[in-house]
Amino acid sequence: MKYKEKEFTSDLKEKIKNTEAALKSLIEKLVNENKPVFKKKGLDLDAEFERLGNDPFHPGYSSSISIGIYDENCELTDLQIIKIWECERHFLGVPVSKKIPGNKIAGDLLDESSEEIKQELKDFIGEQLTITND
């Protein structure tokens, strides 16, 4: 869901922080539950929460979660990345890194609920286990 700078409120900031915390906890739980199953198949399952920047309303800030599957040679075989929040500066609809007169700041927040993300990640993990059984 897109937010314009004038919509940046303390409630939105709280929602971003809560979503980040919930999804970080979710991926840790999913990895702990599924890592042994992947280990038995000679694979490794790893997840990461990544945050760039300190202020969610400052251009350049972004947060995401990712889950990766690695083979026995530690080579990445598949990766799922889900962006949680991203704040960018735009000029005429194009992202820009420098402040230009007339530019606008906007953010994009994940639309799906934690339950939908949980199901999406479970499906991804299940798919990977099915592929390795073939």
pTM: 0.85
DSSP string for residues in 71-98: -TTS-EEEEEEEEEEEEEEEETTEEESS
Which ranges of 1-113 would DSSP assign to H, the alpha helix? 10-40
Structure tokens at 84: 């949680």
Structure tokens at 32: 């702990």
Tell me the pLDDT tens digit for each residue of 40-98.
Answer: 888 899 999 999 999 999 999 999 999 999 988 888 988 999 999 999 998 877 778 77
Q: pLDDT value at position 41?
A: 86
8: left (phi over 0), alpha (psi -120 to 50) or beta: beta
Q: Averaged over 30-45, what is the pLDDT?
A: 90
- What distance in Å separates the CA atoms of residue 2 and residue 66, rounded to the nearest whole number? 21
Arithmetic mean of pLDDT over the chain: 90
**Counting Cβ atoms within 10 Å, is residue 105 exposed (0-12), middle (13-18) or buried (19+)?**
middle
Domain ranges across the chain? 2-133
